[in-house]
Amino acid sequence: MTKLDNKIVQEVGVFEIVGSIGRKNKKYQAIILQEIEKVIDKDSDEYKIIRKIVLDELSNYTRAVVREVFGDIEVLLQ
């Protein structure tokens, strides 16, 4: 058994990776909301609450993953 080295296989910019993660996040948000719209009326109060929860929590999760992998890059974005 060999020990895995922590090596970068391909040089990729941090901002490029973060952008890619953000795009995936938005894609999954859209898919989830489309599925919810199949069973809950889009104009209902329940949908509005669920939509807010889904968007907030997926964004929080994505931010947490980026922070865990890259550290606090938000200071670089300001």
* 8 Å CB contact between 21 and 62: yes
Is 3 contained in some domain? no
Is 32 contained in some domain? yes
pTM here is: 0.70
Is 72 contained in some domain? yes
Indicate whether 1 pLDDT > 50.
no
Is 2 contained in some domain? no
Residue-number span of the structural domain to which 31 is assigned? 14-77
Total domains present in the chain: 1
Is 38 contained in some domain? yes
Is 51 contained in some domain? yes
Is 61 contained in some domain? yes
User: How confident is the model over 3-57, as pLDDT tens digits?
Assistant: 556 655 566 677 788 888 889 999 999 999 999 999 999 999 999 999 999 999 9
Is 7 contained in some domain? no
* 8 Å CB contact between 40 and 46: yes
Cβ neighbours of 43 (radius 10 Å)? 7
